[in-house]
Amino acid sequence: MLSMPQSKIVHYDQQWDSDLVEAKYIKDLGENLSIISLRYGDGSKPLFKNREFIVYERRETMDDGTLVVAVASLPKEIAAGLYPKRSNAIRGLLLQSGWVVERFEKDSCMVTYVVQLDPAGWLPKFFVNRLNTKLVMIIDKLAQACLQIN
């Protein structure tokens, strides 16, 4: 399993998600709980505004080696106090998201990824369709990034 501080992991996110413009570690709230700022969409102008999310991420490794990562937006009032909203972005709401990485053999695992979000505004239909298709490729890019790390 991937073992490194969250402050370093956020910099690897762009390797597997090309729409992620910036992932910024804000602070730890505990050993496995961090607050992160995510910004998407600079290459999409002028079709729609950039999106940003202020999220907490909780990571737990189970006794059998399964890694569970849960991510969700902070309430807007709390997020605004921690990290001011950018004027050129819409602050979306990540309702729930997460990863479950189950170890099978020594060198294999199964990854389950779930995401439910409110982008807080209109997105062009072609972009939504592209995003749905692109999500399938994210797992492969993540696997390649993990191989480079280890």
pLDDT tens-digit readout, 50-78: 889 999 999 999 998 888 999 999 998 99
**pLDDT value at residue 1:** 44
| HEC readout, 10-23 | HHHHHHHCCCEEEE
**pLDDT value at residue 124:** 75
**pLDDT value at residue 2:** 46
* C-alpha closest to that of 14 among 46, 47, 36: 36
Q: 6-149 has which fold? A: Alpha-D-Glucose-1,6-Bisphosphate; Chain A, domain 4 (3.30.530)
Question: In the chain, which stretches have pLDDT less than 50?
Answer: 1-8, 10
**pLDDT value at residue 7:** 45
| Domain boundary assignment for the chain | 6-149
**pLDDT value at residue 107:** 74
